[in-house]
A and B are shown apart, each in its own frame.
Chain A
Amino acid sequence: MTNDEGIIIYRDVHKWYGDFHVLRGITFTMQKGEVVVICGPSGSGKSTCIRTINRLEEHQRGQIIVDGIELTNDLRNIEAIRREVGIVFQQFNLFPHLTALQNVSLAPFWVLKMRKSKAEEAAMKLLERVGIPEQAQKYPAQLSGGQQQRVAIARALAMTPKIMLFDEPTSALDPEMIKEVLDVMRNLARSGMTMIVITHEMGFAREVADRIIFFDYGQLVEENTPEEFFHNPKHERTKLFLSQILDY
């Protein structure tokens, strides 16, 4: 398997929760440096889909290949892939008993076996990059939602991942804080990071995405450039979705 075919390859991926068929044959490929936005109604399986990339969810049929490594039950493969894929959650999921700096430097110290001073130095640089170096010694509960989410982004970046996944990163934020998180993501996309972003922020999608994927009922309904997606959607379901989220 070579990397030329794509950094993420999905081939006919299926998953069930009990009898419920969440993913119904997903096939797509992503190139290095690409930014893909996934949108779709809630319950459509988009979140489950990206969580299969770092095995937070297990797929039951089909093939997922991340950076040349196929995801199987082999723990070594899973750990190798998790080291290359960072994820940012809707609910931040920061470690509440650790400071912002410790949240970011924890994994480099324990997993990459970096020296403590090195790990903290690198963590500080990342906190500067997401614009909150002055909050380094605070605990998550003392930070605003936007600041917490930026710490979460720094935490994921600390493992120097090749791919970043964003699972509705701004959905739990107050409207005034959405922009500060989107700005960080925009800069990240400009730096050439491979990103998959689930979001309802259509302005962001239009501006940053190379491709937009529309999901419904566990299927990939439409895959298009932002330009075409918003002005000339191919599928009726996409048109309906767009009319519902854009026209209010």
Chain B
Amino acid sequence: MDENQLAGYADKNQLPPPSERIPAIRWLKQNLFSSWFNAILTIVSTALIMTIVFGLLRWALEARWEVIPANLKLLLVGTYPVEHLWRVWAVVYLVAFLLGFSSGAHGGLMRRVSTTAALVSVVLAVLPFPWGTRGWLLGIAVAAAAGFGLGYLGKGIRWCKRLEIASWILSFPISLIFLNGVGGILPVIKGRTMWGFMLNLIGAVVGIGLSFPVGVLLALGRRSRLPAIRLVCTAYIEIIRGVPLISLLFMASIMLQLLLPASVRPDLLIRAMLTITAFSAAYMAENVRGGLQAIPQGQYEAAYAVGLNRALTTILIILPQALRIVIPAIVGQFIALFMDTTLFGFIAILELLNITRSIMGNLEWRGTIFELYVFIGIVFWILCYSMSYVSRRIEKTLGVGER
């Protein structure tokens, strides 16, 4: 073959792919009315769906939605004293600021998340809330914007990145201490087991933040070469996974009450959070172990062969790949943990579900069960969907080098 022949060869016989568009009528006929039986099925199920949808719509229009705004503060933060509500806002601002900062410094996923948060706060501020609340809501957007500006300026500076990571980690304990109060400086909020939805959020954040590292360590321990470590980790995982969370919570609340004197007994809320962390960590460990097992032996060999020791091999080569594989399972676990915080209600902690029950017990709001539960459903759905959205984006971003 000479040069010209070769040049033309690559483009020869190239055809466009066949069109896959079908006219709507033909699609209907093919998929919904292909036989008389299918036609009947289509008509009956359409009627059924219409009935349900119209029923729901009628209910939604007649429902007493005023129960939500009237009790909004109670639902979201429980009996947190009004004169200290600024502390809750301050924590929200801190998170908004950090989100903005990260989005300014990195862009990508962070930018989407922080922009969405800022937009939502602006939209909420337009709704007929009291003017004070609207001001607070707008503050979220302002905090995010300020963070964005600073993050953008600090882009690429090395200590800025370290500062960012450190602030994210420190924001956990700082927020908790801030909300709870410190003796002498910030008044401690009495009856701290009455924080409504905020309590579910805090429980979930603490549970996720702690159970993830503990779970990874347990997974590594279960695969350890040292029999003692392997035995302890395996026993822990199998025991915890064999017991329902609710009974662990009861144990933490009642049994510790009996066993430990009040002076050394941690607060009920702390016990509940530690319990859910311990519970979730066992499941997390099994998810992570699944990821570890998916890594081929060749990866270990290649790492050892270039001189990496076991610890470095695990941290640099194995874990990054293993965790990426199990992101969907891990996020599923996070979502489950978040939902499980509603079980706190059973050990007399006033989280969202428990608060709702007390509202329903109020004569003024009798018969508003559906309204309140729909509200709870929507609130949980928004947050859980956000988590799964973020996880899908992360998977996509990290998938660059996938085999």
B317 in the interface (beta carbon within 8 A): yes
Give the chain A neighbours of B317 by CB distance below 8 A.
95
Tell me the minimal C-beta distance from B117 to chain A in angstroms. Answer: 30
B308 in the interface (beta carbon within 8 A): yes
Binds B, one of A37-45, A134-142, A206-214, A238-246: A134-142
Binds B, one of A154-162, A180-188, A197-205: A154-162
Q: B401 touching A107 by the CB < 8 A rule?
A: no
Q: B306 touching A97 by the CB < 8 A rule?
A: no
Query: Known contacts being A96-B402, A139-B401, is A159 close to B302, with CB within 8 Å?
Result: no
Instruction: Considering the complex, give the chain B residue whose CB is closest to the CB of A110.
Output: B312
Most buried by A among B301, B303, B317, B320: B301
Tell me the minimal C-beta distance from B309 to chain A in angstroms. Answer: 7
Interface residues of A in 92-109 (CB under 8 A from B): 93-99, 106-107
Q: A111 touching B302 by the CB < 8 A rule?
A: no
Q: A139 touching B400 by the CB < 8 A rule?
A: yes
Select which of B301, B308, B398 is within 8 A of A107 by beta carbon: B308
A24 in the interface (beta carbon within 8 A): no
Give the chain A neighbours of B312 by CB distance below 8 A.
110-111
Instruction: Considering the complex, give the chain A residue whose CB is closest to the CB of B309.
Output: A79
Give the chain A neighbours of B398 by CB distance below 8 A.
97
Query: Known contacts being A155-B306, A159-B306, is A56 close to B301, with CB within 8 Å?
Result: yes
Query: Known contacts being A96-B402, A97-B324, A142-B401, is A87 close to B305, with CB within 8 Å?
Result: yes
Q: For this complex, into which size category does the number of interface residues on chain B fall?
A: 20 to 34
Interface residues of A in 115-152 (CB under 8 A from B): 139-142, 152
Bitwise interface map of B from 296 to 321 toward A, beta carbon under 8 Å scored 1, else 0: 10110111111111001000110011
Q: For this complex, into which size category does the number of interface residues on chain A fall?
A: 20 to 34
B396 in the interface (beta carbon within 8 A): no
Select which of A54, A96, A110, A139 is within 8 A of B305 by beta carbon: A54
B366 in the interface (beta carbon within 8 A): no
B12 in the interface (beta carbon within 8 A): no
Give the chain B neighbours of A99 by CB distance below 8 A.
401
Q: B301 touching A89 by the CB < 8 A rule?
A: yes
How far, in angstroms, from A139 to B302 measured CA to CA in the complex? 16
How far, in angstroms, from A85 to B321 measured CA to CA in the complex? 26
Q: B306 touching A111 by the CB < 8 A rule?
A: yes
A86 in the interface (beta carbon within 8 A): yes
B58 in the interface (beta carbon within 8 A): no
A83 in the interface (beta carbon within 8 A): yes
Query: Known contacts being A106-B316, A141-B401, is A93 close to B309, with CB within 8 Å?
Result: no
B403 in the interface (beta carbon within 8 A): yes
How far, in angstroms, from A93 to B403 measured CA to CA in the complex? 11
Tell me the minimal C-beta distance from B304 to chain A in angstroms. Answer: 7
Query: Known contacts being A96-B321, A96-B402, is A158 close to B306, with CB within 8 Å?
Result: yes
How far, in angstroms, from A159 to B305 measured CA to CA in the complex? 10
Give the chain A neighbours of B324 by CB distance below 8 A.
97
Q: B305 touching A156 by the CB < 8 A rule?
A: yes
Q: B298 touching A106 by the CB < 8 A rule?
A: no
Q: A156 touching B306 by the CB < 8 A rule?
A: yes
Q: A140 touching B308 by the CB < 8 A rule?
A: no
Query: Known contacts being A96-B401, A97-B401, is A111 close to B308, with CB within 8 Å?
Result: yes
Interface residues of B in 54-75 (CB under 8 A from A): none
How far, in angstroms, from A80 to B360 measured CA to CA in the complex? 71
Select which of B296, B301, B401 is within 8 A of A98 by beta carbon: B401
Give the chain B neighbours of A94 by CB distance below 8 A.
302
Q: B302 touching A95 by the CB < 8 A rule?
A: yes
Tell me the minimal C-beta distance from B156 to chain A in angstroms. Answer: 15
Tell me the minimal C-beta distance from B6 to chain A in angstroms. Answer: 15
How far, in angstroms, from A226 to B357 measured CA to CA in the complex? 87
Tell me the minimal C-beta distance from B396 to chain A in angstroms. Answer: 14
How far, in angstroms, from A155 to B303 measured CA to CA in the complex? 10
How far, in angstroms, from A155 to B307 measured CA to CA in the complex? 11
Give the chain A neighbours of B403 by CB distance below 8 A.
96, 140-141
Give the chain B neighbours of A95 by CB distance below 8 A.
299, 302-303, 317, 321
Interface residues of B in 272-301 (CB under 8 A from A): 296, 298-299, 301
A82 in the interface (beta carbon within 8 A): yes
How far, in angstroms, from A30 to B278 measured CA to CA in the complex? 56
Q: A82 touching B305 by the CB < 8 A rule?
A: yes
A91 in the interface (beta carbon within 8 A): yes
How far, in angstroms, from A111 to B299 measured CA to CA in the complex? 17
Most buried by B among A56, A86, A156: A56
How far, in angstroms, from A95 to B400 measured CA to CA in the complex? 13
Can you name 9 A-B pairs with beta carbons within 8 Å?
A: A79-B309, A95-B303, A96-B401, A96-B403, A97-B320, A107-B308, A111-B308, A112-B307, A140-B401
Binding site for B on A (CB under 8 A): 54, 56, 79, 82-83, 85-87, 89, 91, 93-99, 106-107, 110-112, 139-142, 152, 155-156, 158-159
Binding site for A on B (CB under 8 A): 296, 298-299, 301-309, 312, 316-317, 320-321, 324, 398, 400-403
Q: Return the 4 tightest CB-CB contacts between A and B, nearest first.
A: A139-B401, A107-B306, A93-B302, A93-B298
